[in-house]
Structure 1
Amino acid sequence: MRVLLAEDDPILGDGLRAGLRQQGFAVDWVRDGLAAEREVRSAEFAAVVLDLGLPGRDGIDILQSLRAQGCKTPVLVLTARDAIADRVAGLDTGADDYVVKPVDLHELGARLRALIRRAHGHAETVLRVGEVTLDPSTRQVRHQDTTASLSQREFDLLHALMRNAGRVLTREQLEQQMYSWGFEVESNAIEVHIHHLRKKLGSDAIITVRGVGYTMPVGGGT
């Protein structure tokens, strides 16, 4: 899952990025408000971790602008502003969660997974499509009654498809959800991962829509 981290403190930002990456998130990190707003508008993120006291533009202003323009990306405000009035303002402006620093990294990861789950209409913590189940918190995948051993990229690709079951995703959309800045993506990387997933989960678990992209049918495969 690709998330945008907007945090101007270099030490805190580096720690948050490292901690979230250890939990399987692909993290893009910006350090000012203008860059944060630009990136949310130009790229697809599963969620945003937004500091309020950003240089360039305040986080509340960014949040208000994004919501006014119809942006539905889940936003978790992570800030030192702990007054009740600040919490109320953040949530009423459109934040999906409001967390006061400092925060435990595992709690932050769990809150992000919950936001992303709700944004995709999933009430349960474990995703199920056909005979495939995926647990984002443990990064475990099971096909029928067997645990499937997946690489990190295979897991990320499967997670993206299962979150969007029934929807066709293009190769570009999948790459945007899987990779953060700085990663060189080979032109056939998605196709290779799809091939490996089909070998592990069944040939019809993932359907190719020729000329468009890939999907996992809501009814599931074998």
Structure 2
Amino acid sequence: MRALIVEDNRDISANIAAYLERHCYLLDFAYDGISAMQLAMNNKFDVIVLDLMLPGMDGLHFCQKLRAEADVETPVLMLTARDTLDDKLRGFAVGADDYLVKPFALQELHVRLQALYKRSHGNTNKVLTVSDLTMNKSTLQVHRAGQLIELNPASMKLLQRLMEVSPSVVTRDSLETLLWADEPPDGDALRSHMYKLRQAIDKPFDTPLIHTVHRIGYRIAKGVQ
């Protein structure tokens, strides 16, 4: 499952990440409402975990804008220290799908996210396919020619994005935002990640699927020059 975590408290974000990544989530992070909106509009997430109190744009405004202006239907679980009925009703009114009051148990967060995912996607697995390469978005298993391929979380994010839009090109800027939001590292770290992905996806096989589009980005497709 791919989730966007929108939380300005980095300690809370780190705790959520440590727990959910053990359960095979692919996670992206935003620490303010404006960055979160950019990520939510430019990427496809299965669920969004949204703190109510955020710099730049608070959770209520974010959720309202996400639904009314961006027309994004991704399930949203709202996190907040406010536990009155009126607060909850305001959250549901702007489009939140669930509500979890801080402090919360990470196990409960995981269970609620699983429920939201099943409610919005059903119980069927969603499998991405490009040539003899497959990715099961529910189990996060990747196979090529029937062979299981192990990927780290960054490679999994890149591959899923490339497969979702195949054979279209994904720009470098879009992939950097996918991995690092608005804080990319110095140097050409993306090139290093793409090299690792190619080593796993293409090197053991006769036909390359990942292709560089000079000065623009990358695509994944069969038979592209």
Give the TM interval when normalised to the shorter protein.
0.5 to 0.7
Match 1:186 to one of 179, 189, 202: 189
Pairs aligned (count): 208
1:38 to 2:34 alignment: yes
Deviation at 1:176, TM superposition (A): 1.8
Deviation at 1:169, TM superposition (A): 0.5
Which letter does structure 1 place at the counterpart of 2:219? Answer: T
1:203 to 2:207 alignment: yes
1:76 matched residue in structure 2: 76
Which letter does structure 1 place at the counterpart of 2:209? Answer: A
Does the Cα contact within 8 Å between 1:206 and 1:214 map onto a contact in 2? yes
2:220 matched residue in structure 1: 216
Deviation at 1:83, TM superposition (A): 7.0
SS for the counterpart of 2:207 is coil
Residue 70 to residue 6, structure 1, CA distance change in 2 (3 Å): same
Higher relative contact order (CA 8 A, sep 6+): 1
Does the Cα contact within 8 Å between 1:131 and 1:143 map onto a contact in 2? yes
Deviation at 1:158, TM superposition (A): 1.3
Does the Cα contact within 8 Å between 2:172 and 2:217 map onto a contact in 1? yes
1:169 to 2:165 alignment: no
1:107 matched residue in structure 2: 111
Does the Cα contact within 8 Å between 1:175 and 1:190 map onto a contact in 2? no
1:36-81 per-residue CA deviation (whole Å, 9 max, x = no partner) reads 2221244555444212355776422332234444263735232356
1:33 matched residue in structure 2: none
Residue 205 to residue 11, structure 1, CA distance change in 2 (3 Å): closer
The answer for unaligned runs of 5 or more in structure 1 is 31-35
Deviation at 1:12, TM superposition (A): 4.0
Which letter does structure 2 place at the counterpart of 1:213? Answer: G
Residue 54 to residue 172, structure 1, CA distance change in 2 (3 Å): closer
1:98 matched residue in structure 2: 98
Does the Cα contact within 8 Å between 2:28 and 2:178 map onto a contact in 1? no
Taking the aligned partners of 1:112 and 1:179, their CA distance within structure 2 comes to: 25
2:133 matched residue in structure 1: 132
SS for the counterpart of 2:167 is coil
Taking the aligned partners of 1:191 and 1:5, their CA distance within structure 2 comes to: 26
Which letter does structure 1 place at the counterpart of 2:180? Answer: Y
Deviation at 1:194, TM superposition (A): 4.7
SS for the counterpart of 2:65 is helix
The answer for unaligned runs of 5 or more in structure 2 is none
Q: CA RMSD in A?
A: 3.9
Does the Cα contact within 8 Å between 1:3 and 1:45 map onto a contact in 2? no
Taking the aligned partners of 1:77 and 1:144, their CA distance within structure 2 comes to: 38
Percent of aligned positions that are identical: 23
Taking the aligned partners of 1:142 and 1:188, their CA distance within structure 2 comes to: 23
Does the Cα contact within 8 Å between 1:17 and 1:29 map onto a contact in 2? no
